[in-house]
């Protein structure tokens, strides 16, 4: 199949690599051309402009946020340049409002649109084991399905309204941040009584909380290993804010979201821009002043 891929961060690059390995003809574009070099060595064609990647059967995009998606697809005029009949599969974690707008704008132009945000870090993407949420018109999904299956451990249908996939992604990411905040606070409590974070988290993540989110982020917290980021801390704040926005629009109170927002802002104010989301644990440690108390 003739495939385009726009947005080659750690996630997008891993996903596009799997499409190339599966034998598809992949054309890639990224704002930073350096990110295309590895994929070119694997056999991808490199587009100098995004419209050259949007000529084929299916266009995948994995951009960072609402602003990037708007700039490329709406303000940049890419929708007008896309081949008639192409299906755009948007993997970005975006707001519910933008998800609805994109569906409308694609429909106006006779273009297929599928919302397909993913759960999984870059290593999971590289292994082709992502959990991919899928929402859109059945015909568009069916066209993109063989490509999605290459990248996914499982596809999770969310209906024909694209924003359903996006709100589930936001709700899931909200739960991830909640898990990290709870582990951070609980492990600092244990440390205050001379129980190591490693021992505490090993116990919790092999018994009561034996799940990938707790185990993966818990290990990072126990080892104080917050770089390189798999899920960058600023993106965690972005997603919590989008969850709050979606909750407000639907009149759904989310009191925990305010706590998480403030902790994330505090982490960023303390220089956490380049840290993994697990770096949120530094906030709990600093609030408890553990380092000073142990002196």
Active site residue 169: yes
Q: Which residue has the tokens 């995004």?
A: 50
Q: How many residues does the chain have?
A: 295
Which is catalytic among the residues 2, 45, 108, 169?
169
Give the separation between CA 96 and CA 234, rounded to whole angstroms.
19
Cα 248 to Cα 122, 130, 175, distances in angstroms: 31, 29, 17
Widest Cα–Cα separation across the chain: 67
* Separation of alpha carbons 54 and 293, rounded Å: 58
Phi, psi of 60 (to 5 degrees): -100, 145
Distance set, CA 6 to CA 20, 202, 226, 275 (Å): 14, 39, 27, 24
Q: What are the E-state strand segments in 184-278?
A: none
The catalytic site residues sit at: 169
């Amino acid at each position: 199949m003739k495939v385009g891929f726009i947005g080659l961060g750690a996630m997008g690059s891993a996903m596009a690599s799997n499409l190339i390995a599966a034998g598809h003809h992949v054309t890639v574009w990224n704002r930073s051309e350096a990110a295309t070099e590895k994929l070119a060595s694997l056999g991808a064609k490199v587009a100098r402009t995004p419209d050259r990647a949007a000529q084929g059967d299916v266009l995948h995009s994995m951009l960072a946020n609402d602003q990037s998606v708007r700039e490329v697809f709406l303000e940049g005029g890419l929708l007008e340049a896309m081949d008639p009949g192409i299906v755009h599969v948007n993997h970005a974690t975006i707001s519910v409002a933008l998800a609805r707008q994109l569906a409308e704008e694609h429909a106006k132009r006779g273009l297929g649109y599928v919302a397909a945000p993913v759960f999984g870090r870059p290593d999971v993407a590289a292994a082709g084991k992502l959990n991919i949420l899928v929402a859109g018109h059945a015909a568009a999904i069916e066209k993109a399905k063989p490509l999605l299956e290459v990248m996914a451990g499982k596809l999770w249908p969310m209906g024909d309204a694209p924003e359903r996939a996006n709100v589930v992604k936001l709700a899931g990411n909200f739960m991830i941040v909640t898990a990290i905040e709870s582990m951070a606070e609980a492990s600092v409590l244990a440390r205050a009584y001379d129980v190591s974070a490693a021992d505490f988290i090993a116990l919790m993540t092999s018994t009561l909380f034996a799940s990938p989110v707790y185990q993966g982020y818990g290990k990072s917290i126990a080892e104080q290993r917050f770089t390189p980021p798999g899920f960058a801390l600023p993106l965690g704040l972005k997603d919590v804010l989008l969850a709050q926005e979606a909750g407000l629009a639907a009149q759904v109170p989310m009191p925990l979201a305010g706590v998480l927002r403030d902790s994330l802002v505090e982490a960023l104010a303390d220089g956490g821009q380049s840290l993994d989301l697990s770096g949120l644990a530094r906030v709990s440690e600093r609030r408890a002043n553990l380092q000073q108390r142990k002196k």
